[in-house]
Structure 1
Amino acid sequence: MIAPADPFREWDVAYVLGSLSPADRLAYERHLVRCPSCEAEVCRAAGTAGLLARLPAAWAVSPSMQGAVNPVVEPPARARAARRRLVVVTAVLVAAVTGAALSAVFCG
Structure 2
Amino acid sequence: MSSPVDPYRDWGAAYVLGSLSPGERREFEGHLPGCPECSGDVASFAGVPGILSVVPRDRALDLLEPEREAAEPPPAVFADLVAAERSRRWRARAWVAAALVLAAFLGAAVALAVRPAAQVATDRKST
TM-score range, shorter chain: 0.5 to 0.7
Alignment of 1:32-71 (within 5 A): 32-62=32-62, 65-71=63-69
* 1:7-44 alpha-carbon deviations (Å, 9 max, x no partner): 00000011111111111111000001111211111011
Partner SS, residue 47 of structure 2: helix
Runs of 4 or more consecutive aligned structure 1 residues displaced over 6 Å after TM superposition = none
Give aligned-pair identity as a percent. 41
TM-score, structure 2 as length reference: 0.47
RMSD of aligned alpha carbons = 2.1
CA distance in structure 1 between the partners assigned to 2:51 and 2:60 by the alignment: 13
Alignment of 1:20-99 (within 5 A): 20-62=20-62, 65-71=63-69
Larger radius of gyration: 2
TM-score, structure 1 as length reference: 0.54
- Count of residue pairs brought into register by the alignment: 69
CA distance in structure 1 between the partners assigned to 2:35 and 2:16 by the alignment: 16
Letter aligned with residue 69 of structure 1: E
1:15 is matched with 15
Q: Normalized per residue, which structure has more helix? A: 2
